[in-house]
Amino acid sequence: MAVHIKTADEIQKMRVAGRLAGEVLDFIAPHIRPGVTTGQIDRLCHDYQVNHQGTIPAPLNYAPPGYKPFPKSICTSVNHQVCHGVPGERLLKTGDILNIDVTPIKDGYHGDSSRMFYVGTPSIQARRLCEVTYECMWRGIRAVRAGGFLGDIGAAIQQHAEAHGYSVVREFCGHGIGHKFHEEPQVLHYGQAGTGLLLQAGMIFTIEPMINAGRPAIRELADGWTIVTKDHSLSAQWEHTVLVTDQGCEVLTLSAGAPPPVPH
Ligand code: MF3
Ligand code: CO
Ligand code: CO
């Protein structure tokens, strides 16, 4: 199946949805502290999106084939949880690391972004994993340009992660996004430069590497959603949505409070 090239009108809508995704993360940042539950974080993000932004949280009741409907409005993945953590009664405690992944829909278009947050003060190992994973995402972003290949992205990410002794999760990947939450192409976070799909201006997809401190293997919890590392090692993830341009790419999910881009 073909990868959709967005029209100028769609690109404009994706810029708006992308910025709004970043702004949900900006909004929630000061609320992340010991004693808060992931369910409270979900509720705050839900209300901000619906009442303040006029956006729809795409995860709520999202049900891809083979999955039961996701019951919450955001994903909260703590410590050895890799992705798709379901918010609930869990109390955050100092030293936890937490990924918050948000996907607001505005005017029919999706913005998808996630960041890592520290609860209180992280261990040196946890901080290093989060920082290296952030660099991995940006190395992937910097590999994007029209005329380049999808494999350039995964190769850049894998090389950086493995150079630090970390491993790349294989089972989940970045994805095309627009009017649909998940569309083609699949953006692998490992691979070989110069292989795969030829990138064209107007493509929009996410780059969202999941990097484990230990082995790459994962398993799914009984809730049918939460993914954890098999060896219980820490895992980190960052996500941006990007537009392919002739010069490189435009990161659509930046916002005033986003951590600074990593330069070339
Ligand atoms: N936001 C996730 C992604 O980056 C997808 C979450 S699906 C959900 O692709 F149902 F778990 F919310
Ligand atoms: Co995504
Ligand atoms: Co996401």
* CATH code, domain carrying 204: 3.90.230.10
Whether the Cβ atoms of residue 88 and residue 113 lie closer than 8 Å to each other: no
Does residue 3 sit within a domain?
no
The three-point CA angle 95-99-101 to 5° equals: 160
Does residue 264 sit within a domain?
no
Does residue 57 sit within a domain?
yes
Ligand 1 within 6 A of CB of 23: no
For ligand 1, mutation pick of 25, 45, 83 (most atoms within 8 Å of CB): 83
Give the chain's mean pLDDT: 98
Does residue 263 sit within a domain?
no
In the chain, the number of structural domains is 1
Tell me, in angstroms, the distance from the centre of ligand 2 to residue 164's CA.
24
**What does the pLDDT look like over 4-22, one tens digit per residue?**
999 999 999 999 999 999 9
**What does the pLDDT look like over 126-175, one tens digit per residue?**
999 999 999 999 999 999 999 999 999 999 999 999 999 999 999 999 99
Does residue 148 sit within a domain?
yes
Burial grade of 147 (CB within 10 A; 0-12, 13-18, 19 or more) = exposed
What average pLDDT does this structure show over 206-233? 98
Number of Cβ within 10 Å of residue 33's Cβ equals 12
Residues in the 5 Å CB sphere of ion ligand 3: 101, 112, 239
**What does the pLDDT look like over 131-143, one tens digit per residue?**
999 999 999 999 9
Backbone angles phi, psi at 187, to 5 degrees: -105, 95
Q: Which domain holds residue 200?
A: 8-251
Does residue 242 sit within a domain?
yes
**pLDDT class of 1 with cuts at 50, 70, 90:** low
Protein residue with its CA nearest to atom 11 in ligand 1: 84
Q: Which residues contact 84 (CB under 8 A, 6 or more apart)?
A: 70, 75, 77, 225, 226, 227
Whether the Cβ atoms of residue 212 and residue 229 lie closer than 8 Å to each other: yes
Does residue 128 sit within a domain?
yes
Does residue 261 sit within a domain?
no
